[in-house]
Copies of this chain bind each other. A is one copy, B any other.
């Protein structure tokens, strides 16, 4: 294969939360391609690189741009917030790569919001957990409901991505109503806005309160399992060690 393309998970945003492997991949690249909000976090640090982007919902075009630039002989990195493989571009890049036999992908993992957000709240994912996106742009809402019910049945800790957007203002409320079929209103929850970026905000609350919370697309929501406790303001899911 002639051309390598890096697909890089940049973590939550702050450079100090990127791995040095990710930093090196960006340093090696001539072209950095990504969603504008995340590119903005990199332009100063990686000044001199060529930055290319496409708007939201133009993810396929963004991926194609990577392959087209790579086939010109340029060293290309596609950046994703969080991890490259979690609702990121890695799978779409692999799908498209079958059209570009000269291109090889190198996936560089990053810290996904489930884990970086959990660290802000304490240790809510201390036992088995699920990661579920509430975005129904690409997934039927029925599938999302089915997964929420299954996660509740399995007593998983749950991290919820994309809990809200302008067009989906009531989705978190709908998700809470599904969880309330099986959970008490007092189930311990929390959420984090702007993880690893300016204006990080953490909130702990009950599931009943979460149902009324105003969250945005930069929020990650956490639902405790049946063992999760609030210890001095921190969400803690015990694994079962004897003290």
Contacts and interface: CB of A to CB of B under 8 A. Distances in A.
A231 B156 contact: no
Nearest to A12: B109
Interface residues of A, number: 75
Given A16-B21, A84-B119, A150-B150, A239 B92 contact: yes
A128 B239 CA distance: 23
For the complex, would chain A's binding face be called helix, strand, loop or mixed by DSSP majority? mixed
Interface stretch (A29-37, A71-79, A93-101, A165-173): A93-101
Nearest to A133: B128
Given A18-B19, A95-B243, 4 more contacts: A18-B20, A86-B129, A128-B147, A146-B155
Interface centre among A9, A107, A238 (most CB of B within 10 A): A107
Nearest to A153: B150
11 contacts: A18-B19, A83-B111, A83-B115, A91-B238, A92-B243, A94-B236, A111-B111, A112-B115, A128-B130, A128-B132, A138-B239
